[in-house]
Structure 1
Amino acid sequence: MIRIVLVDDHPVVRAGLRALIESQDDLSVVGEAEGMDAALAAVHAHRPDVVLMDLSLGAGQPGGAAVTAAVRALPQSPEVLVLTTYDTESDILRALEAGARGYLLKDAPPDELFAGVRATARGETVLAPSVAATLVRRTTPGATTITEREVEVLELLSRGLGNKEMARELFVSEATVKSHLSHIYTKLGVDTRAGAVAAAIEQRIIRSSM
């Protein structure tokens, strides 16, 4: 039996996932959580094989990538399979770098979810097709690659922060922020802040703030 803890801030979503997962003879939901503290408590109490993790956990909560990192830092930690609506490059990279074994989208067919949970429990990597395509595109020779720091700058840009505010957020100088912006403009083929944000959203590098 594969033991699963669900981490999602929507009770209706958790209830639906529980009903779906427990339709399978070899899968069992042993705990639920809606944020960091509850997730760590559930993992400690139930010792699951897999944590099914949403990335957006509501206002005031750390995101799913931060919760994933905390779960994976535990002794004898379970595997983490992200199940989310977001397929942006920034979300994917943060989740995988935090230690997620796989990354599926919430529009996946049930059979794909079941197979993903089973594969994750075996320690195999599981990626939604669009996620795999994003990672392949990022590693294709000659492809335009936005660095992690440039993604951070783009996310701050999308929030409307000025150079001074971005420098404060990133603990760098304003000159460094201007340098990042120059590189971003060149890579995305734009010449304005608004153009950079629009291009990054269109190319699914960052999420839309709307």
Structure 2
Amino acid sequence: MTHVALIDDHESVRLGLEAACARIGDMEVAFSGNTVTEYLDWRALSREAPADVVVLDLTLGDGTTVTENVVRLVRDGSSVIIHSVADRPAAVREALAAGAAGVVSKSSPIGDVIAAVGTVARGEPLNNVEWASAVEGDRDFADAQLAAREREVLRLYAAGLPLKAVADRLGIAYSTAKENITRIRVKYVEVGRPAPTKIDLLHRAVEDGLIDEPASDSGDIARGR
């Protein structure tokens, strides 16, 4: 069962997505509301696990920025899809740089939105037309792209967890986590940013905004590669 949260300050949009999700046997809307703060407050009170995928409007009416919202949701443990009119490519790039897994236009058929949720929930990259339009002409940003699952693995591994602990945390096999790290290293080599050691991966994760710059010495991380 894929658990979905819908965050949009347009109730009609949420109701349409709720109805579409209800028609899918393996998809459930766990939360529907206006702001990220509402969602996180609900999580704290209900003690429910983070949604697998959060479908997030690009601009909410509470004055928050898209970077702020995406970062809070990703750190909470969810993958994020931006559901936007997609006429603000700079803002969409900002959301993707903050860690969003992809973008789907509000003009897309609702079936495409549901399919995108399933794609991201499986940890697969959402490299659709909207994503391509957002990063067109911004090669430095495009080169930094990792699949949603790869970002999750890198975020935990670069933060200092042993690879087995990363696998346990994400509920995947150790061999799968190891394959993800291998693919991540290959991707960084291909864009001229090699990361042969764990400390190098830490630097890449910081550069790409997946984790904050650690305040303490990174020697322990380097020894845990």
Which residue of structure 2 lines up, in the alignment, with residue 70 of structure 1? 72
**Stretches of structure 2 lacking an aligned partner (at least 5 in a row):** 141-225
Match of residue 54, structure 1, among 43, 53, 57 = 57
Residues 145-196 of structure 1, C-alpha deviation per residue, up to 9 Å, x if partnerless?
xxxxxxxxxxxxxxxxxxxxxxxxxxxxxxxxxxxxxxxxxxxxxxxxxxxx
Which residue of structure 1 lines up, in the alignment, with residue 30 of structure 2? 30
Question: Does the CA-based 8 Å contact 1:83-1:105 persist in structure 2?
Answer: yes
AA in 1 matched with 2:39: A
RMSD over aligned Cα atoms: 1.9
AA in 2 matched with 1:29: V
- Structure number, greater radius of gyration: 1
Is the alpha carbon distance of 1:12 and 1:93 closer, same or farther for their aligned partners in structure 2, counting shifts above 3 Å? same
Supply the distance in 2 between the matched residues of 1:82 and 1:98 (Cα, whole angstroms). Answer: 11
Is the alpha carbon distance of 1:14 and 1:129 closer, same or farther for their aligned partners in structure 2, counting shifts above 3 Å? same
Identity level (%): 27
Secondary structure of 1:24's aligned partner: coil
Which residue of structure 1 lines up, in the alignment, with residue 88 of structure 2? 88
Supply the distance in 1 between the matched residues of 2:65 and 2:18 (Cα, whole angstroms). Answer: 21
Q: 1:78: Cα distance to partner? A: 1.1
Supply the distance in 1 between the matched residues of 2:5 and 2:67 (Cα, whole angstroms). Answer: 16
Residues 69-89 of structure 1, C-alpha deviation per residue, up to 9 Å, x if partnerless?
111122xx0111111113422
Supply the distance in 2 between the matched residues of 1:95 and 1:43 (Cα, whole angstroms). Answer: 22
The ranges of structure 1 where at least 4 consecutive aligned residues each deviate by more than 6 angstroms after the TM superposition are none
TM-score (norm 2): 0.56
Supply the distance in 1 between the matched residues of 2:15 and 2:83 (Cα, whole angstroms). Answer: 15
AA in 2 matched with 1:65: T
Q: 1:62: Cα distance to partner? A: 0.4
Which residue of structure 2 lines up, in the alignment, with residue 5 of structure 1? 5
Is the alpha carbon distance of 1:51 and 1:12 closer, same or farther for their aligned partners in structure 2, counting shifts above 3 Å? same
